[in-house]
Amino acid sequence: MTDLWTPQALEAATGGRLIGAARPIGGASIDTRTLQPGDLFFAIRGEARDGHDFVAGALEKGAGAAVVAEARAADLAGRGPVLAVPGQGPDPVLDAMRAIGRAARARTAAQVVAVTGSVGKTGTKEALRHVLAGQGPTHASVASYNNHWGVPLTLARMPAETRYGVFEIGMNHAHEILPLTAQVQPDVALITTVEPVHIEHFPSVAAIADAKGEIFSGLKPGGVAVINRDNPNFARLLAHAQASPAGRVISFGEHESANVRALRIVLRPDLSVVDAVVMGQPVTYRLGTAGRHTAMNSLGVLAVIHALGADLAEAALSLARLSPPAGRGARTALHLPGGEAWLVDESYNANPASARAALATLAGIETGPRGRRIAVLGDMLELGPTSEAQHRGLAEAVEAHGIDLVFTAGTRMGHLFEALPVSRRGIAASASDDLVEPLAKLLRPGDALMVKGSNSMRMGRIVEALKARYADAAAQRDSSRTATP
């Protein structure tokens, strides 16, 4: 295996100078907590801390070298190999990381996909990673590394021999996608959907569509734009694609004119079966994750596969082995006295569209004889003046999907709690931690419990607490039974 970067390549990309002998570089990092030996450490400035304060620690952990601002190089002399980069801007190291990312994109012959959307970005990115990994060396964003530092860091980590690259691109405001898609230079760009997410920062959903449509501006000439045909903003997104360097547009959905069209979606508690037509070719496949929203996004995945010229049949088969990313629908059996309950982890962020989708998925889970469907919902943020109405509006979905009990965390979700009939109310708490004990005492065999909320509500704490009590403990008991003296 060749090094990810040579000292000469790093100096050429950044205009910097290497001080000391760099160790072999096999990765890239901005966080000493997760840094691996051989990583190139970028001392970027965070919101609260300056990465230069962690350079010594990074080098002690075995970083191949540290990228530092020229103005700080003298302070770090003797600590280990550093790449001192010039620059007068707010963060020369971040600029250097972008430069290395651009160099990574320029040196590879990989076909690159960029994914954005109000809902389903990460799940769709992970599905693409999954299906493409079976067809060639694939590099993709870690977790949700989709912002001003996540995208260039992901590029900087991309090996030259990559065959397929998959990048997630996010935004909270207009014009945030423009510089990111320019760095990625995708061959194919996909928008999963447009919904009133981050509406606090936009005058309308149409404005959100315009912001998402920016992703097409970075397409390589002749590239492919992939758009959800069922979304009300399809025409607006199509206009952005037609004004971009795209050579063609592929649409997906249930609409009769979609190029990749679902003819039938069969939803089961832990999987889905889709009958589709992909550019005129009939395809039937099983999807290893539940929910209509994931089935719809799988159509977008197959549209991308077609656009790349990859093996469609192999991709469709591999979707059966797909499992949901952490915090986005993963299921865990909770071993209670007398039987099992199911925990559905949807704790990674929330908005009105994804909350409704999660409630619909919960409705499809089969419960035991005395089991109940229990939703645990935390505040949804960045909804602006519509926040109260959007939270109250979830009551309709709760009723429609027959959710038996709803527990809420946060003052905003308290509006939903008030809108529910008393028979469906569990407990309304100010913080997620306050719900752990009540839920632990309430659970009984046959229940299905789903947890969802915006990241800052830390709903994942509920998931981890219940797993530690009822899932991990069971695994430890099983282990002790099988141990030999």
Tokens 């889905």, residue located: 272
Evaluate whether the domain defined by 7-98 bears CATH number 2.102.10.10. Answer: no
Q: Of 343-352, 394-403, 422-431, 458-467, where does mean pLDDT reach its minimum?
A: 343-352
Strand boundaries in 70-198, DSSP class E: 82-85, 111-116, 138-140, 164-168, 188-191
pLDDT grade, residue 472 (50/70/90)? Answer: low
Q: Please give the Cα distance from 415 to 412 (Å, whole number).
A: 6
Q: Please give the Cα distance from 398 to 261 (Å, whole number).
A: 29
* Dihedral sign from CA coordinates of 228, 231, 235, 240: negative
Q: Where in the chain is the domain with CATH 3.40.1390.10?
A: 7-98
For residue 162, give both structure tokens: 């990559």
Q: What is the pLDDT of residues 359-387, one digit of tens each?
A: 998 998 889 999 999 999 999 998 999 99
Side-chain-side CA neighbours of 156 within 13 Å: the count stands at 29
Q: Of 157-161, 194-198, 227-231, 475-479, where does mean pLDDT reach its minimum?
A: 475-479
Tokens 């550093």, residue located: 82
Looking at this protein, which amino acid is placed at residue 211? A
Q: Please give the Cα distance from 346 to 350 (Å, whole number).
A: 8
The CATH superfamily label for domain 108-321 reads Mur-like, catalytic domain (3.40.1190.10)
CB 221 within 8 A of CB 245: yes
Q: Where in the chain is the domain with CATH 3.40.1190.10?
A: 108-321
**DSSP state, residue 45:** B
pLDDT grade, residue 268 (50/70/90)? Answer: confident
Helix residue ranges per DSSP H, 189-269: 205-213, 234-242
Q: What is the pLDDT of residues 54-72, one digit of tens each?
A: 999 999 999 999 999 999 9
Looking at this protein, which amino acid is placed at residue 348? Y
CB 391 within 8 A of CB 380: yes
For residue 298, give both structure tokens: 């799988």
Q: Please give the Cα distance from 111 to 128 (Å, whole number).
A: 12
pLDDT grade, residue 483 (50/70/90)? Answer: very low
Q: Please give the Cα distance from 196 to 194 (Å, whole number).
A: 7
Class of domain 330-474: alpha beta
Q: Where in the chain is the domain with CATH 3.90.190.20?
A: 330-474
